[in-house]
Amino acid sequence: MGHRSTRAWGLAVALGVGGALCLPTTAGAGAREEARAATRARDYERAAELWRTLAEAGDRDAQYQLGALHRAGRGVTQDPAQAFRWWLLAAEGGDARAQFGIAGMYEDGWGATGDRIAALRWFRAAAAQGHAGAGERARALETAIASAPDRGRAAVAPAPSAAARPRPKPAPEPSPAAADADAAAWVERRLAPTAAGRPDGAEPARAYSGWAPLSMASWRGETGLVRGLVARRAPLEARDGEGYTALIRAARNGHAEIVSILLGAGADPNARATDGRAALSWSASEGHTGCARALLERHAETDGVDASGRTALGRATERGHVEMVRLLLEHGARPDLPDGSGTTPLLYAVREGRGEVVAQLLAKGAVADAHAANADPPLCLAVRGGRDAIVLALLAHHASARTLCVDGAAVLARAAAAGDEAAVRTLVANGAEVDVRSGLGNTPLMLAAERGRAGVVEALLAAGADSDARGHRRYTPLMFASAAGRRDVVEALLAHGARSGLRSEGGETAEALAAQGRHDAVAALLVEARRRERVLGIF
């Protein structure tokens, strides 16, 4: 596509000619944020869809981002010509990143016919806007052109239509005799101008400082480069500043084909970075099942631990990666192996509410009551999080309904205080002691009454809870409810025979406590209840 025709097309899009619509500023900002969020979540197909809408409306940043996706083949077909098209629009709109990228494509003849004069022009344009590295690239190209002026320019052919466009030829692989420094420069040029996982526009030399060429290509998902470097016998176990190998980088970013290539070439599946994490650990935490499968087939340690004592299974359960958990368990991962803090995979899954993962772990023999010495058991975590389905699953696998939580409270008391009626009924049905006492001597009924948990109060009374039991300061459930002004609870307790005339340690009746709290409606109920008790002779 010639510059003039591209510029005219870009203007038509921006003005809404030919059916393209300009997005309102607020809508555009929202769509940009949604696209960035999709990119962070690695939902590249959604990101490409959002960026395309914005790009077609003339958004310069979106044009750059869409071009970058086409260049890398993320969420769209890898297509250098499409990358060139969108970057050229952004470059002509003044985007320094796109200008730098277009210059590299002209220089390498990738996505467009090679044209070093055009490359130089765009490097200079990017440098004029302060792009780091563009000035140095421009000076190097000036020197190269001066030394071989006859090779300076080749005509830039218009971009063919999508239907007629041939697949771009890959850039020539470097000579096997090239030095390591040449390999690094070659890879860096092929990866310019962005660094995946780094701020947009980051210069590769800076973003990948200390990385071996194979690690750079593996992290970016550049399969062709990886194959070329492996063929050159690039060091498979070279490490960057964080101790990562190329295999760990590929696994972390989910490049399953590259993981297989590296393993096939002899990369160590159990190599660990400075933090002790191996490729399987990253595959598990990020949910990259294809990578994990390749690693396990090459005998990656299923239960290997990192510096914090965490296993791949522990990380997968915490993140809720159901298929990953299934894969690891099928390959013999131990479901009860705790990490350095004593937390088991089951505890991670329960804490995060991963019900399907909990079911898998229990089916593989995870102990439903296992927990660290100073931490809540799984059942207490499930109740605290309101995970009723998980409560049922744990009880079905022999968790005790009389479990005590880390603070000494019975799990039934915790459920009652939280107002979790379903958990209360389930626990009682599975043998929980209905009048179990807290450290202050209060029963679950007292806790529920004070907090106004009417449904829980009804459930406990139906299960036989003592409506006149004495707790802290010799308060009864009725006194707790009256002092807090819980009218519906007071009515329920009275209907179940709670006596209103009983006195606390300080001599107060429920009526007096309601009056002290200025709960007039509750006090009136209690006056009438006391009158009925006198008529019936109840003291």
Instruction: Give pLDDT tens digits for 77-123.
Output: 888 888 898 999 999 889 999 998 888 888 888 788 888 888 889 98
Contact 401, 395 (CB under 8 A): yes
Residue 474 in domain = yes
Question: pTM here?
Answer: 0.59
Residue 68 in domain = no
Residue 400 in domain = no
* pLDDT classification of 149: cutoffs 50, 70, 90: low
Least confident of 11-15, 334-338, 359-363, 477-481: 11-15
> What does 406-465 look like in DSSP terms, one character per residue?
TTS-BHHHHHHHHT-HHHHHHHHHTT--TT---TTS--HHHHHHHTT-HHHHHHHHHTT-
Number of domains in the chain: 1
Residue 517 in domain = yes
Paired strand residues for 278: 272
Q: Average per-residue pLDDT in the chain?
A: 83
Q: Is a pLDDT exceeding 90 seen at residue 150? A: no
Residue 456 in domain = yes
Mean pLDDT across 172-185: 45
Report the pLDDT value the prediction gives residue 190, as an integer from 0 to 100. 53
Residue 66 in domain = no
Report the pLDDT value the prediction gives residue 28, as an integer from 0 to 100. 59
Identify residue 307 by its one-letter amino acid code. A
Q: Is a pLDDT exceeding 50 seen at residue 442? A: yes
Report the pLDDT value the prediction gives residue 518, as an integer from 0 to 100. 95
Pick from 40, 407, 41, 351: nearest CA to 200:
40
Q: Is a pLDDT exceeding 70 seen at residue 159? A: no
Q: Is a pLDDT exceeding 80 seen at residue 391? A: yes
Residue 277 burial by CB count (10 A; 0-12/13-18/19+): exposed, middle or buried? Answer: buried
Report the pLDDT value the prediction gives residue 154, as an integer from 0 to 100. 43
Measured between alpha carbons, how far apart are the two ends of the chain, in Å?
A: 98
Q: Is a pLDDT exceeding 80 seen at residue 20? A: no
Contact 247, 279 (CB under 8 A): yes
Mean pLDDT across 312-323: 93
Residue 449 in domain = yes
The CATH code of the domain that includes 532 is: 1.25.40.20
Pick from 113, 190, 181: nearest CA to 153:
113
Torsional sign, CA 277, 327, 258, 106 = negative
Query: Which domain, by its residues, includes 538?
Result: 434-539
Q: Which tokens hold the place of 136?
A: 């140095």
Residue 37 in domain = no
* CA 154 – CA 114 distance, rounded (Å): 6
* CA 265 – CA 262 distance, rounded (Å): 5
Pick from 295, 266, 257, 261: nearest CA to 279:
295
